[in-house]
Every structure is written in C-alpha cells, then in structure tokens.
Amino acid sequence: MILFPQAKINLGLNVHFKRNDGYHELTTCMIPIPLYDVLEVLPAEDFEFQSSGIEIVGNPSDNLCSKAFQLMASHYTIPKVKMHLRKQIPMGAGLGGGSSDAASVLLALNQMFDLKCSDKELAVLAAQLGSDCPFFIRNKPQIGKGRGELLTDVNLDLKGKWLYLLNPAIHVSTQEAYAGIILGQNQPQTIEEIITGDIYSWKSNLKNDFEPSVFSKYPELKEIKMTFYESGAIYAAMSGSGSTLFGIFEEKPTLLFVDKDYSQWILPL
C-alpha cells in the first residue's frame, strides 16, 4: 500500500497557559496543504523501516512510523510489515510531517488488516504518538484545542487561493519557542470566529503567539513575512513554532527569494 502523508500549516496559534501535566493549553486552526511524503507499507516476515530523501537522523526504531506500528501491534494482532518512507516534508519546521507519517501508518494498518477502527479510535491512538497526530487521521480543516488533539471541524474553503511556503532552514526548537512566549494574551475574537470571517481581516486579527519571541531572535523570519505582505499576500504568518513561513495569495505569486538558499514551494490551495 502506498500513501501520501500530507503537511499542514497553522492558521493562528494562541497559547493560553501551562497545564499541570507540563503541556500548554492552546487553540489553533490546522489545514492540510499539498506537500507530501511518500509511504509504502507491505506485509513482511520481519518488521523493517527504511527511509530515503531528506536524511532522518537517529535509530529507525525511534522513528514515529516505527512507534506507530508498535502501538498498533500492542492493541491488535497484526502481521509484521516493511515500511519505506520517502521524506520530502522538512523536519522540525512546524509542518507536522512526522505526525502525518505516523498517522498514515495507523491508517494503512487499519485498512490492510481490516481492523475496522473508527476515526475516533484511531485518533485516540494517534494522540499517544504526538499532539498533531490526531489531526491527520481526518486530514481536513480543524480547530485544535487542549494540546492540539481536541479537534472540531471548521467551515473553511481556500480553494482558488495560492500558498507560498518557505522554509529557511533555521531550527527553532519547541522548548526555545515556548521559553519566550507571553502566556494568556487576551484576544477579542476566537480563532474560529476570525477564520470563518472575512479573510482580509486575518492580517490584523489572526495571531501566532510564538512570532514575537521567535522573530526577535531570528529577525530574518520577520523580514520574510514582511516581504510576503509587500508582494501582495492576503495573510502571512509562521506555522506553529516555526521556522516555516507562508503567505496566502489571490493570484499565483512569483518566486520572491531567488538569491537565497531557502526551500520554497508555490502551491495551489
């Protein structure tokens, strides 16, 4: 079976407070975007995980795909599989690639071995692998609360718009991003209210609470966002805790950073 795990971006991200369990309570809107990894899963005599494309550092047994198989095997009697992941979504970039890969493993095993797990059951399992993983079970625009795993559908249609996605290869650790954040900022509207309103109001109202501290440490990121707006973006922001930035455009934009060693994609939404 071949699947195409999809990346996501965050449209707004508000961090409310730090919970007793060490996680942060947040609200965000996540949407899938047309940037993909490629995952092949086949029955095998022994479990095996291989990868190509972007180098994945570390022991293969620590990869989220391997952990997803082990999690499913701890709940259901399933045969061993061989997996090959063609890694194309940048890692540690706020795009959820690893979470999407893991969710795709759960979906593949459920289908291949006719486990008849519902989306809700798969999402409960996915939450054990990472806060973003449950989003990718249904892979549609959703409001995330709690750690991001408490999901509700949101009516959002960006068909016809264009996405300019840019990864500048600046690594921003999640710990680093949270360390500089100001918690509990009052927002006059919820993210869902903003998202379902006029898209031209997003620039003024839709905030990513990580941006101020991350931009102060990496001013290059703020400059990229400003370039998107100067080039006609309806909305531009950092995705998650970064460092990927994106701009949403009415018309297909031209390549803006031809002299920079950035990973860049211009994608139809």
- Scan for tokens 């997803």, then name that residue: 68
CB proximity list for 157: less than 8 A, separation 6 or greater? none
Contact status, residue 184 vs residue 209, Cβ threshold 8 Å: no
Say what the alpha-carbon torsion angle 37, 14, 214, 11 is, to the nearest 10 degrees. 40
- Residues labelled as active-site residues: 8, 132
Distance CA(127)–CA(129), nearest Å, equals 5
Q: In what order do the strands lie in the sheet with 235-238?
A: 235-238, 245-249, 162-167, 263-268
Burial of 107 (0-12, 13-18, 19+ CB in 10 A): buried
